[in-house]
Amino acid sequence: MRVLLLRSLRERFRRTVMTSLAVVIGVALISGTLIFTDTISRSFDEIGEVSYRGVAVAVTPAVPLGTPSSEGSDDDRGLRRDAVDRVAGARGVRLAVGQLEGRAIVYRRDGRTPVGSNGPPTRLLSTLPPGVGGVRYTAGRAPAADDEVAIDADTAERAGVRVGDRVSVQGEGPRRRLRLVGLAGLGDGTTFGPRPTVLATQATAASILRRTPDRYWSQVLALSASGTRDEQVAADVRRVVGDGATVRTGEDQGARQAKEIKDRISFLPTILLVFAGIATFVGAFLIFNTFTITMAQRQREFALLRALGAARGQIRAMVAAETTTVGLLGATLGLLAGFGVAPGLRAVIKALGVDLPTTATVFSGRTIVVGFVVGMAVTAAAGLLPARRATRVAPVEALRDAAAPPGRGRVPRGPVLAGLAIGVVGSVALALALVGSVEGDTGTAFAGGGAGLLFLAATLISPVLVGPVARMLGRPLRRIFGLPGRLAQDNASRQPGRTAITSSALMIGLALVVFATVFAAGLRETLRGDIERVVAAPVVVQASGGSFSGVPTSVVGAVRRAPGVTSAGGVGFSRVAVGGRRASLTIFDAEALRTGLVRLQRTDGGGTAGDPGPGGAYVTDTVAGDLGARAGRTVLARGTNGEQHPLRIVGIVKGSASAVSGVVVNGATAATFGTTQPFFVVVDGRPDAVRRALARDYPATEVLTRSAWITDQTGQVNQLLGLVYALLGLSVLVALFGIVNTLSLSIQERIRELGLLRAVGATRAQVRRMVLLEAAITALLGALLGAALGFVLAAAVGATLDGFALSIPVGQIALLVALTGVLGVVAAIRPARRAARVEVLDAIAGE
C-alpha cells in the first residue's frame, strides 16, 4: 500500500503541488508575519537595551493613566529644568544629565522637501556625555557647538547630505540651517529605530524645540556611584522628584520603551495575521474542492481496491496519508516562503514610510510549530469529508462502465438546511457582538466567528443558487455566444456543489473587499460630515502631505501676520486624565472659536460654543455621560506633562469620532497641560497670501482651501483601503487558483464529452469559449454573493456606529464584480486551452 501511496503522489505530483499551494500562501503569510514580528521585536528590545546602557535610573514625566497611545504625541511632555539638579542631589547618584526630545523636520539638500514625512515624525535629541546611552558616530563627530547637528546615517543618505554640508532643521520655530558634523547610529546600527533622528547640543535643541524652564527635559538620566544597586538609587531618586515624574531603572526604562513601541505597532501583526487567516480559510475551500473532485475521479480505483479486498480503513489511511502529505508539503513550502515574506513585509512597510529596524532574522520554534499546525490542520479538516466519501465507495463500482462522467448532481437538502441554521447562529453571534451585549475579546471573537459562520452558511446554501444564477447569467451569454454560452451554463450547473464551493472561495474574498469598500465609503462620508460641521474656516494649513506630525507652533503666529488674514487659530489633539479616566483632549485656539472658524454645536441649550476661557472646558456628550458632568462643575485633570489642574466645565458639545472628542479646551489651557503643538491651523484669509507668508520659513507646510483640505483628510481613508485591498488580494488569488484547479479537473473528467463535441463539429474556439464562459459564470456567482454579503456586513457594522453615514458606492461595487468576472476568465485561460486541444480520437478511445 505504501508503494501505491508514493506512486499516487508522484503521478499526481503537479496536482499535489497545486493543492498544497492553497496552504502555502496562508502559511507563508502567517510564518512571514511571525518571523517579521519576532525580528522587529528583538530589534526594539536591543534598541531599548542599548539606549539605556550604563544608565542606572531614568526619570520621565508621569504619563496619565498608563501607556501613551497613538493619539497626540508623547514628545511634548516635559520635566522642569531644575529636575536635573534634584536628581543629582539624590543619594547614590554620581552624575545626572537631562535629555531633550521633540518633533523636528529635516529637509533634503534643497532645503524645501522634508525627509521621511510619511512615517513616524522625525525627532530631535539633545546629545548626552560620552559613555551615556548607546549613540555611536559612524562618521564625523558629535555636535559640540551651537550650529552643529548630527543625523542618523540612513536619514542623511535619504536627505542626500554629507558631513560638512549645511542642513535645514525645523522644530517649533522657523527652520534653521545647521552644519552636519557627524553621522550617528544606535549600537552597531545606522539608525535609531524607525524614527529619523537629529542630534544637537542641549542648548541648540532647547532653542529649536522652544522649550521653557517648566517644560524642559524629556528625561533625566542618572549614573550611579559604584557599589550601589540601581533599584536602590531609583528609590532614592523617587523620593526627591515627587509624583509628577516616573522613576525607573535604566534597564526597566529600556524594556519599557521597547514595549511601548511594540504595543504601538502591535496592531500590525494582528492585522496581517487576520488577513493570513482569511487566505488560509479560503485555501481550505480550494483543498476541499480539489480533494472532492479527485476522490470522485478515483472512485473506480478505490472500488477496485475494495473489490480486491482492501478494507475501508486501508483506503482511509491511504487518503489520509495523501492529505497529510499535501499539508506537510504546503506547510514546509509556506515556512520557506515565509522567509521571503518577512523581508517583503518590511519592504512594504518601508514603502509606506516606516522603516522598521531588523536584526538578524529571528526564526523561532513557535513559528515552525504554528506554521505546521496551521498547514496540517487546515488540510486535514478540508480533506476529512472527501476522504470519508472515498471510503464509502461500493466495490461494485469497479465493474461499472468505464469513466462515465458524473451525472447531473442534485443538491442535497441536508447541507442547505444546515447552512440556514448556521446562518442564523452566525447572525445572532454577530448581532450580539455589534450591539455590545458581549464585549472585549469575547466580542471580537463573536464578531469574527459570526462573520465566519455567515460565510460558511452562504457556502452551504449557495448550491441552490447555482442553477438560478447560472440561468440568469446564461441567458445573455446564450444570446451572445450561442452554443458555447448554453453549454457553459449547463456545465456550471451540472455539479452545483462543486461550482458553489469554487465560487464560495471567491465569495469570501469579494465579500471582504466589498465590506471594506462600503465601510470605507461610509467612513469617508462620516468623516466628511463631521469635519464639514466643525470646520468653517475657508483656509487650512497643515504639514506637507497631511502627515500626522503636525506643524511647528510658530506657524500660527506667522499665519496671523500674513496680509489679509483676519483671524487664525491652531487646532491640536492630545489626551488628558479626567476623573480617573483617559479622555481625548481637543484643542482650539480661543481666536478660532471666537471668530467662528470652528463651530461646536452645543447640546445643552443649543447654539455654538465660544471660547471656554482659561481653565474652562467643554465636554462632549459621551464624556459628560461618563463623568456625570454638568456645566458649572469643576473636575481635576492631569495632562501629559504630569501636572494636575482644575477644569471648569462650561458646557456640553456634540462630539464626533473624527473631529471633536473628549474634553475641549483653548490653546492657553492646553499649554498648562503640556501641549502646545497644533496639528493644523484654521485661517480666514486668502490661500495664496498665506502660502507666500509661509514659503520661506515653513516649507514643510501646505495651505489648502477648505474643500481641498477636507478631500485630503477624507482621502486618507483611501490609503488604508488600498492596503486592505492588497492584503485581500492574496485571498482572491487563492480563490482564483481554485477556479484553475476545479476547471482543469472537470475538463479531465469530460474529455470524452469534449471529444464528442469536437466530433459533431464544434470548433476549438467554441470549446475554448465554453470553458471560459463557465469560469465567468462561476466567478460572477461568487462575486454577486460576495458583494451582497459584504454589503450586509458593512451595513450591520455601520448601523452600530454612532452617526455612521452608510453610503453605497454602486459604481465601485459593480466594477469589483465585473473585475472578478474578468479575473475568473483569465484564470480559465490555461484549462480552456487544454480543453480546446482535446483530439477527437483520443477522447473517444477512452481510458
Partner 1 sequence: MVVVSTPIVQADDLRKTYGRGETVVTALDGVTVGFQAGALAAIMGPSGSGKSTLMHCVAGLDRPDHGTVTIDGVETGSLDDKRLTELRRDRIGFVFQAFNLLPVLTAEENIVLPLTIAGRKPDPDWLEHLIATVGLGDRRDHRPSELSGGQQQRVAVARALASRPAVIFADEPTGNLDSRSSEEVLELLRRSVDEFGQTVVMVTHDAHSASYADRLVLLKDGRIVHDGPAGGSEAVHERLRQVTDPDAPNPPAA
Instruction: Give least dist CB 404 to partner 1, A.
Output: 11
| Number of residues engaging partner 1 in binding (CB under 8 A) | 26
Residues ≥6 apart with Cβ < 8 Å to 367 = 31, 34, 35, 38, 335, 338
Instruction: Give least dist CB 291 to partner 1, A.
Output: 18
Contact between 240 and 117 under an 8 Å Cβ cutoff? The reply is: no
Q: Does 839 bind partner 1 (CB under 8 A)?
A: no
Could you tell me which residues are beta bridge partners of residue 184?
137, 152
- What grid cell was written down for 77? 511632555
Q: Does 405 bind partner 1 (CB under 8 A)?
A: no
| Candidate list 256, 306, 560, 768; residue touching partner 1; CB under 8 A | 306
Instruction: Give least dist CB 403 to partner 1, A.
Output: 9
Q: Does 312 bind partner 1 (CB under 8 A)?
A: yes
Instruction: Give least dist CB 189 to partner 1, A.
Output: 56
Q: What's the rounded Cα separation, in Å, for the pair 812 and 793?
A: 17
| Candidate list 14, 66, 226, 402; residue touching partner 1; CB under 8 A | 402
Q: What's the rounded Cα separation, in Å, for the pair 663 and 326?
A: 57
| Candidate list 144, 373, 399, 445; residue touching partner 1; CB under 8 A | 399
Rounded to 5 degrees, what are φ and ψ at 587? -120, 125
| Candidate list 207, 314, 554, 622; residue touching partner 1; CB under 8 A | 314
| Contact stretch for partner 1 (CB under 8 A) within 76-84, 388-396, 529-537, 588-596 | 388-396
Instruction: Give least dist CB 411 to partner 1, A.
Output: 23
Contact between 281 and 453 under an 8 Å Cβ cutoff? The reply is: no
Instruction: Give least dist CB 300 to partner 1, A.
Output: 8
| Contact stretch for partner 1 (CB under 8 A) within 391-399, 492-500, 535-543, 640-648 | 391-399
Q: Does 390 bind partner 1 (CB under 8 A)?
A: no
| Candidate list 380, 398, 710, 801; residue touching partner 1; CB under 8 A | 398
| Candidate list 273, 274, 304, 657; residue touching partner 1; CB under 8 A | 304
Q: Would you say 8 or 51 has its CB closer to partner 1?
A: 8
Q: Does 668 bind partner 1 (CB under 8 A)?
A: no
Q: What's the rounded Cα separation, in Å, for the pair 241 and 222?
A: 13
| Candidate list 81, 109, 136, 300; residue touching partner 1; CB under 8 A | 300
Contact between 111 and 169 under an 8 Å Cβ cutoff? The reply is: no
Binding mask 9-28 for partner 1 (x = CB under 8 A): -xx-----------------
Q: Does 385 bind partner 1 (CB under 8 A)?
A: no
Q: Does 4 bind partner 1 (CB under 8 A)?
A: yes
Gyration radius (Cα) of the chain, Å? 32
Q: Would you say 18 or 35 has its CB closer to partner 1?
A: 18
Q: Would you say 187 or 395 has its CB closer to partner 1?
A: 395
Q: What's the rounded Cα separation, in Å, for the pair 290 and 530?
A: 49
DSSP reduced 3-state for 706? helix
Instruction: Give least dist CB 358 to partner 1, A.
Output: 46
Binding mask 569-598 for partner 1 (x = CB under 8 A): ------------------------------
Region of residue 632 (phi > 0: left; psi between -120 and 50: alpha; otherwise: beta) = left
Cα–Cα distance list, 542 to 70, 122, 176, 568, 633 (Å): 19, 16, 20, 13, 35
Contact between 180 and 150 under an 8 Å Cβ cutoff? The reply is: yes
Q: Does 243 bind partner 1 (CB under 8 A)?
A: no
Q: Does 321 bind partner 1 (CB under 8 A)?
A: no
| Contact stretch for partner 1 (CB under 8 A) within 305-313, 589-597, 757-765, 802-810 | 305-313
∠ at Cα 541 (656, 667), nearest 5°?
A: 60
What length is written for the chain? Answer: 847
Residue 435 has a CB neighbour count (10 Å cut-off) of 11
Q: Three-state SS string across 191-255, please?
A: CCCCCCEEEECHHHHHHHHCCECCECECEEEEEECCCCCHHHHHHHHHHHHHHHEEEEEHHHHHH
Binding site for partner 1 (CB under 8 A): 1, 3-4, 7-8, 10-11, 300-301, 304-312, 314, 394-396, 398-399, 402, 847
